[in-house]
A = this chain, B = another copy of it.
Amino acid sequence: TSQACAACKFQRRKCPVDCPLAPYFPAEANQRFLSCKRLFGVSNMLRFLRDADPADKEETMKSLIYEAEVRDKDPVHGCYGIISQLTERVRGLQRELELTRS
């Protein structure tokens, strides 16, 4: 069963055995692929993947996918929104800790 990955399916081409995107976008991960395509574009993703050290390729793609999915949910703030919230949370907990200690 050589089902095309979501990226090749979208580009309506045969999915080669060594398709660099297939490990990250299996046929059923169509929505994930579309999010990434929308935010970065296919050629950008391929470049990031190519430029990454072999040991870093998976982490690089995971973080790009994460960013794209967050941007899908919050097109205005993306990851910046999550980082702002977490930073506020850290400040709040630090204040609480100081108060509890004194």
Q: Which A residues are closer than 8 A to B by beta carbons? A: 38-41, 44, 48, 51-52, 56, 59-60, 62-64, 66-67, 70, 75-83, 86-87, 89-90, 93-94, 96-97, 100-101
> How many copies altogether?
2
Are B93 and A76 neighbours in the complex by a CB distance under 8 Å?
A: no
Q: Is the interface of A mostly helix, strand, loop or mixed?
A: helix
CB distance from A8 to the nearest CB of B (A): 21
**Interchain CB contact under 8 A, A76 and B59:** yes
> Which among B51, B70, B83 is the interface contact of A75 at CB below 8 angstroms?
B51
- Which of B39, B75, B90 is A86 in contact with, Cβ under 8 Å? B90
Name A89's contact: one of B51, B59, B75, B90 (CB within 8 Å).
B90
